Amino acid sequence: MTRTANTALSFSDEQAMLLESAKGFCGDKSDSNAVRSLLKSESGYNPAVWNEMVALGWTGIAIPEQYGGFAMGLGSTVPVVESMGRYLLGTPFIATTLAAQALLRGGSEAQREKWLPAIVEGAVGSMALLDNEDWGAKLCSVSATDNTAISDSGILLTGKKLLVADATVADFFVVSINHGGNPALAIVDASQLGADAISANTLIDETKRAATVDFSGVTVSPDALLPHSEQALKDVRLIGALLTAAEATGTSAATLDCIVSYLTSRIQFGRLIGSYQSLKHPTVDILLQMDSARSLIYHAATVLDEGPVSEDAEIACRMAKAQATETLLFAGDRAVQFHGGMGFTYDCDAMLYIRRAQWAQHQYGDAQHHRLHLAKLLLD
């Protein structure tokens, strides 16, 4: 029962510089007007901003030098993602980072050489995992029929994946499939999909993009399978949880700022409303919870490395996700309420935050999902 004893937390000067510059960049590129101007757009992001991020090297942060990256590790991705969350900057950054991690952790040398340098240069990848609403499921409903023995035609995929992030702009997908009863990961090039394979979702969070992707009829060769699928799938799900937590924590900070700004300017019954303890104290609760979330995400960023995700790192990622998305749910909910009538309107930015909260809680498993797994890790 000493499995919570790891309290490692460090942050290098390099990470600190990255955090500052990412905060500055995201703030410049993604103010409220910029965010709102993209809400109805097809891709959900500004390609010029994405190209600048690529030029800054962010897409290569966690990719080894041999593939053209900067080998700074996921610990340096976390402050970038937190900054993106703070300004609701829409890009395929998280989706692509996760696809890259899947290849790094489970891919063959040929697969890495094909895709990782392309990712550094701005190619977009996305994980296609979800079979239904349940992140606790095995994620292998896409069936794989192995025809290689009979006809050379390879492995035929049949089935759909739900809520595939940034699917319409993805250059490739890493799909979890049912390979002889077990989950495996396969790379599918976007060009292999049928014309109507991608059907975009209407999401509660209008800053995000996701789609149902039908992989039926796609045939992949055996060398499209990741040789170490099982480990990669496990790791990517945890890293996905952490990056979602980091992004959500940035958004919680923005939500808190939004609340504080209203509480220090809005006058009702002759007083600034922030002087009422019924508003002041829950706002302090949001701060305290955000502080917890931030401590937990940077702890996870500290203990995670390029090797298979350790038990300590798994605990850290799950705790970070459980804390961060519950914090944002609370902060977003209170942000709407505390803005009164304004909060009920589409013009109020609280709308953006509460919608993001619903999205974030369901990415890579909600709080209860992670606590269920934590109970096994910590109590048995």
Contact set with other proteins (CB under 8 A): 1-2, 4-5, 7, 9-11, 15-16, 19-20, 253, 256, 260, 263-264, 271-272, 274-275, 277, 280-281, 283-284, 287-288, 291-296, 298-299, 319, 322-323, 368, 371-372, 374-375, 378-379
Shortest distance, CB of residue 378 to other proteins, whole angstroms? 6
Nearer to other proteins, 195 or 379 (CB): 379
DSSP result, 301-345: HHH--SSSPPHHHHHHHHHHHHHHHHHHHHHHHHHHHHTHHHHTS
Contacts of 267 (CB under 8 A, 6+ apart): 273
Shortest distance, CB of residue 288 to other proteins, whole angstroms? 6
Nearer to other proteins, 71 or 378 (CB): 378
Nearer to other proteins, 40 or 376 (CB): 376
Nearer to other proteins, 224 or 324 (CB): 324
Shortest distance, CB of residue 322 to other proteins, whole angstroms? 6
Best CA proximity match to 354, nearest among 204, 196, 215, 246: 204
The pair of structure tokens assigned to 1 is 């029962």
Cα separation, 270 vs 251, whole angstroms: 31
Shortest distance, CB of residue 72 to other proteins, whole angstroms? 15
| Region class of 159: left (phi > 0), else alpha (psi between -120 and 50), else beta | left
Nearer to other proteins, 66 or 264 (CB): 264
Helix 311-338 to helix 350-362 angle (10° resolution) is 150
Cα separation, 203 vs 159, whole angstroms: 22
Shortest distance, CB of residue 244 to other proteins, whole angstroms? 16
- Three-state SS for 91? coil
Nearer to other proteins, 138 or 280 (CB): 280
Contacts of 204 (CB under 8 A, 6+ apart): 355, 358, 359
Shortest distance, CB of residue 280 to other proteins, whole angstroms? 4
Cα separation, 179 vs 233, whole angstroms: 13
Shortest distance, CB of residue 350 to other proteins, whole angstroms? 17
Best CA proximity match to 121, nearest among 190, 59, 188, 45: 59
Nearer to other proteins, 16 or 55 (CB): 16
Nearer to other proteins, 99 or 290 (CB): 290
Shortest distance, CB of residue 360 to other proteins, whole angstroms? 17
Cα separation, 30 vs 241, whole angstroms: 24
